[in-house]
């Protein structure tokens, strides 16, 4: 099976940059016409799509572009949007790019456009440092604007996208210079992402493009071009897309008639989701049995945030890499400490593993470098969980209640609290770790509890003598650098039975001995012996067999089993019906040992599903976290 977005560096192009002249030596073409580039792009793409008029009636408007290049189209749109929206609308700009510029190159190009300075500054601040294949989402919250950059060939990029596009900017290099891009497959995927009246504009009037767009349902008009160019194309879609979903079993579901939202569980998963929904202007209540967010499993003072690479290019590795890059942009710099993680080559087996990893993947050095001690992740680090939780919590509508039962009538969900109180909501999301299983009585949710403990202690001066004490040290366990004199040592990983896993976790006496023993024979052994006291915290991880979280709608499993009972005979999956969802019920759990890395991306993805806004995850990764994947695989194997 081909992987849409493999884990490797992207190639940048050989280009000449001088003032407003940017030339690609690979394509022998200009990025835009010197001196009149901005005006030409405004004419072709903004006027050609009748903007801003066309977005005025939309609460949410989506533009998609081929070829992000220097970002000039995006910045023109950004500026126009800033001056022409009613403050309640949201613009989503999606652009694909096969050869992205590095940030320094973009900076060099964009200084030549002082009229865009405010917007270039915003873009450059958020532009990805690590250029990997796949989706990179940037939020410009105060402008009600989101940018999704998809680094890949445009066909692959758009085939992996779930979105409803309102306007297209077709802007690759010209068809004679870049014939591969302007393919029938591109036109088909453009049509699949469009709806009736979706508009499109491009600078080229080449016959192949007109015919290709007509064949997939666009009606084509020639319009006056800019400056000396006689003509350009505008087009309008005449029908709704036929195929939206790729694999019916992996369908996602938007919420219906939704005015109120309840999230049960204020760990890092629920907290992040409530934040995302609220940012989209939704009325959300966050429920937890504790008096404030992140007091149970998500309550360790320092949580490590890093990718989880594997020797093969697995969905797990791709998911956590995407999540890591998203988390770097999500967490406030006040609470995220990018001190770097040093993964020690502490045994021969580990050394071999690290050597193979470096050999197999061509990874950017901002992500990972080889050092004498092992591997070093320079941007990884740890989150001050309590600082983050308090900061987020103060803006959210919080309700302390332990929910013991959920029920739905025709209209709404009802949640019963331990004290008998009843709460109602239109949309219900279970983000309460293992306890989601308990509330979903009768639904098979394949999560397994694992008890874990960290030890923490007051650092003494000896820690400064240990060379690498400024980074997180990771071997079989991990140790964090001193913060306000405190260091964290983790973590145990043990089986725990039901039903005790449903209560708050209790600490065991052996945590110190077990967590320190992982460092026997190193400089730390003496250091730990020199400490006078230590404490412990315990939590319950909700884990899954494939190490990936569970994020999406709850479906009617018995109906699905009936519909798919013969899938193991090998009938093509296309011949099977869509699953049926339990109305307005979602789950976000199974975050395992890496919840602080994955929660922001998962929250964004679930928010996109619920609100039917452009999806932050590729189809490939959405399938990998779909709650229905376990049942589908089980029926296929039967
Ligand atoms: C020892 C240890 C060390 C770890 N270290 C790291 C690390 O360094 N980095 C990292 O990324 N991850 C780490 N993890 C994993 C991480 O803690 C989890 O992935 C993450 O906390 C899961 O978050 P969550 O929001 O899904 O669940 P939880 O944090 O468990 O949140 C669930 C919330 O639901 C509430 N709740 C439960 N039932 C109900 C109910 N019926 N009604 C109302 N409220 C309810 C609970 O009070 C809780 O606040 C560690 C885990 C352990 C155990
Ligand atoms: C003319 S430039 C785009 C200019 C850009 N829209 C702007 O406003 O600055 C064309 C871009 O398309 C990119 N490109 C070329 N072929 C591509 C493909 N098959 N898929 C994605 N991007 C491609 C090039 O790398 C280049 O950056």
Kindly tell me the sign of the dihedral angle through the C-alpha atoms of 358, 600, 69, 164: positive
- The dotted CATH code for 301-383+447-540 is 3.30.9.10
Question: d(Cα 623, Cα 247) in Å, to the nearest integer?
Answer: 9
pLDDT for 182-229, tens place per residue?
999 999 999 999 999 999 999 999 999 999 999 999 999 999 999 888
Between 623 and 14, the more confident residue is 623
The alpha carbon of 423 and the centre of ligand 1 are apart by a number of angstroms equal to 23
pLDDT for 266-298, tens place per residue?
999 999 999 999 999 999 999 999 999 999 999
Instruction: For ligand 2, say whether the CB of 122 is within 6 Å of any of its atoms.
Output: no
pLDDT for 315-364, tens place per residue?
999 999 999 999 999 999 999 999 999 999 999 999 999 999 999 998 99
The alpha carbon of 494 and the centre of ligand 1 are apart by a number of angstroms equal to 15
Chosen CATH of 248-296+389-446+546-637 out of 3.50.50.60, 3.90.850.10, 3.40.470.10, 3.40.50.150: 3.50.50.60
Angle between helices 268-279 and 385-393 (to 10 degrees): 40
Write down the ipTM of this complex. 0.98
The alpha carbon of 99 and the centre of ligand 2 are apart by a number of angstroms equal to 8
Question: How many other CB atoms are there within 10 angstroms of residue 407's CB atom?
Answer: 10
Pairing of strands 403-408, 550-555: unpaired
Ligand nearest to the CA of 101: 2
Q: How far apart are the first and last CA of the chain?
A: 22
pLDDT for 106-131, tens place per residue?
999 999 999 999 999 999 999 999 99
Question: d(Cα 595, Cα 264) in Å, to the nearest integer?
Answer: 16
From 486, 409, 405, select the one nearest 440 (Cα to Cα). 405
DSSP 166-187: EEEEE-SS-TTT-TTTS-HHHH
The alpha carbon of 171 and the centre of ligand 2 are apart by a number of angstroms equal to 7
List the beta strands (DSSP E) in 401-534. Answer: 403-408, 413-417, 422-425, 427-430, 448-458, 472-474, 478-479, 486-490, 494-495
Question: d(Cα 622, Cα 602) in Å, to the nearest integer?
Answer: 10
Residues in the chain: 638
Residues 6+ apart with CB under 8 A from 459: 482, 485, 486, 487
Evaluate if residue 302 carries a pLDDT over 60: yes
The alpha carbon of 258 and the centre of ligand 1 are apart by a number of angstroms equal to 27
Please give the angle made by the CA atoms of 268, 298 and 286, to the nearest 5 degrees.
Answer: 45
Q: Please give the pLDDT value at position 146.
A: 98
List the beta strands (DSSP E) in 526-630. Answer: 535-543, 550-555, 581-589
Kindly tell me the sign of the dihedral angle through the C-alpha atoms of 550, 556, 562, 567: negative
Half-sphere exposure of 250 (CA within 13 A, CB side): 19
Instruction: For ligand 2, say whether the CB of 42 is within 6 Å of any of its atoms.
Output: no
The alpha carbon of 365 and the centre of ligand 2 are apart by a number of angstroms equal to 25
Confidence of residue 510 (pLDDT cuts 50, 70, 90): confident
List the beta strands (DSSP E) in 9-164. Answer: 15-18, 21-24, 29-30, 60-66, 90-97, 134-140, 145-151
- The dotted CATH code for 15-237 is 3.40.50.150
- Ligand 1, atom 5: closest residue by C-alpha: 303
- Ligand 1, atom 46: closest residue by C-alpha: 265
Give the SS3 label for residue 90: strand
Instruction: For ligand 2, say whether the CB of 159 is within 6 Å of any of its atoms.
Output: no
Among 400, 595, 601, name the best residue to mutate to test ligand 1's pocket (greatest count of ligand atoms within 8 A of Cβ). Answer: 595
Question: How many other CB atoms are there within 10 angstroms of residue 370's CB atom?
Answer: 15
Cα–Cα distances (Å) from 2 to 253, 552, 636, in that order, read 27, 25, 21
- Average model confidence (pLDDT) across the chain: 94
Ligand nearest to the CA of 543: 1
Residues 6+ apart with CB under 8 A from 500: none
Q: Which ligand 1 atom is nearest residue 269's CA?
A: 25
The alpha carbon of 220 and the centre of ligand 2 are apart by a number of angstroms equal to 23
Delimit the domains of the chain by residue range: 15-237, 248-296+389-446+546-637, 301-383+447-540
Q: Please give the pLDDT value at position 281.
A: 94
pLDDT for 572-586, tens place per residue?
877 899 999 999 999
pLDDT for 350-406, tens place per residue?
999 999 999 999 899 999 999 999 999 999 999 999 999 999 999 999 999 999 999
- Ligand 2, atom 6: closest residue by C-alpha: 68
The alpha carbon of 172 and the centre of ligand 2 are apart by a number of angstroms equal to 4
Q: Which ligand 1 atom is nearest residue 436's CA?
A: 38
């Amino acid at each position: 099976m081909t992987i849409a977005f493999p884990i490797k560096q992207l190639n940048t192009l050989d280009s000449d940059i001088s003032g407003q002249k940017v030339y690609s030596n690979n394509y022998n073409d200009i990025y835009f016409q010197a001196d009149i580039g901005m005006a030409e792009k405004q004419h072709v793409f903004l006027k050609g799509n009748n903007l801003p008029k066309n977005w005025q009636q939309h609460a949410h408007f989506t533009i998609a572009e081929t070829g992000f290049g220097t970002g000039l189209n995006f910045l023109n749109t950004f500026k126009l949007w800033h001056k022409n929206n009613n403050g309640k609308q949201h613009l989503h700009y999606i652009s694909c790019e096969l050869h992205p510029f590095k940030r320094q190159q973009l900076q060099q190009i964009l200084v030549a456009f002082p009229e865009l300075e405010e917007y270039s500054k915003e873009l450059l601040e958020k532009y990805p440092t690590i250029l990997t294949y796949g989706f990179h989402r940037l939020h410009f919250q105060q402008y009600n604007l989101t940018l999704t950059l998809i680094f890949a060939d445009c066909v692959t990029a758009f085939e992996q996208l779930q979105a409803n596009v309102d306007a297209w900017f077709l802007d690759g290099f010209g068809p004679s210079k870049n014939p591969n891009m302007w393919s029938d497959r591109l036109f088909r995927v453009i049509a699949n992402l469009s709806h009736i009246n979706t508009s499109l504009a491009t600078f080229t009037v080449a016959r192949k493009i007109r015919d290709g767009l007509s064949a997939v349902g666009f009606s084509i008009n020639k319009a006056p071009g800019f400056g000396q160019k006689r003509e350009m194309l505008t087009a309008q879609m005449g029908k709704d897309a036929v195929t939206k979903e790729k694999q019916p079993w992996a369908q996602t579901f938007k919420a219906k008639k939704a005015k109120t939202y309840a999230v049960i569980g204020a760990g890092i998963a629920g907290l992040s989701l409530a934040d995302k929904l609220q940012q989209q202007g939704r009325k959300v209540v966050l429920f937890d049995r504790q008096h404030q967010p992140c007091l149970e499993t998500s309550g360790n003072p320092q949580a490590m945030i890093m990718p989880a690479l594997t020797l093969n290019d697995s969905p797990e590795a791709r998911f956590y890499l995407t999540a890591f890059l998203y988390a770097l942009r999500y967490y406030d710099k006040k609470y995220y400490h990018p001190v770097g993680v040093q993964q020690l080559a502490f045994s021969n087996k580990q050394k071999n593993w690290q050597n193979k990893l470096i050999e197999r993947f061509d990874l950017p050095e901002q992500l990972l470098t080889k050092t004498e001690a092992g591997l070093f992740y320079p941007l990884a680090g740890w989150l001050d969980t309590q600082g983050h939780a308090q900061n987020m919590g103060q803006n959210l509508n919080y309700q302390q209640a332990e929910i013991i039962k959920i029920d739905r009538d025709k209209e709404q969900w009802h949640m019963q609290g331990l004290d008998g109180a009843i709460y109602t909501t239109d949309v219900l999301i279970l983000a309460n770790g293992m306890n989601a299983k308990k509330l979903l009585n009768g639904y098979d949710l394949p999560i397994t509890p694992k008890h874990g403990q960290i030890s923490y202690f007051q650092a003494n001066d000896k820690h400064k003598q240990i060379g690498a004490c400024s980074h997180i040290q990771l071997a079989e366990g991990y140790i964090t650098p001193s913060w306000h004199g405190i260091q964290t040592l983790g973590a145990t990983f043990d089986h725990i039975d039901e039903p005790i896993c449903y209560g708050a976790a209790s600490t065991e006496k052996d945590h110190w001995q077990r967590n320190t023993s992982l460092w026997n024979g190193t400089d730390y052994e003496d250091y730990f012996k020199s400490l006078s006291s230590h404490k412990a915290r315990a939590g319950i991880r909700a884990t899954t067999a494939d190490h990936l979280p569970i994020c999406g709608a709850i479906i009617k499993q018995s109906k699905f089993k009936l519909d798919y009972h013969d899938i193991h005979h090998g009938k093509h999956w296309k011949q099977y019906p869509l699953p049926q969802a339990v109305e307005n019920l979602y789950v976000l759990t199974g975050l395992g040992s890496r919840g602080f890395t994955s929660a922001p991306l998962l929250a964004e993805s679930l928010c996109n599903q619920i609100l039917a806004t452009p999806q932050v995850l590729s189809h490939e990764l959405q399938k990998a976290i779909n709650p229905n994947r376990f049942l589908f695989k089980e029926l296929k194997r039967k």
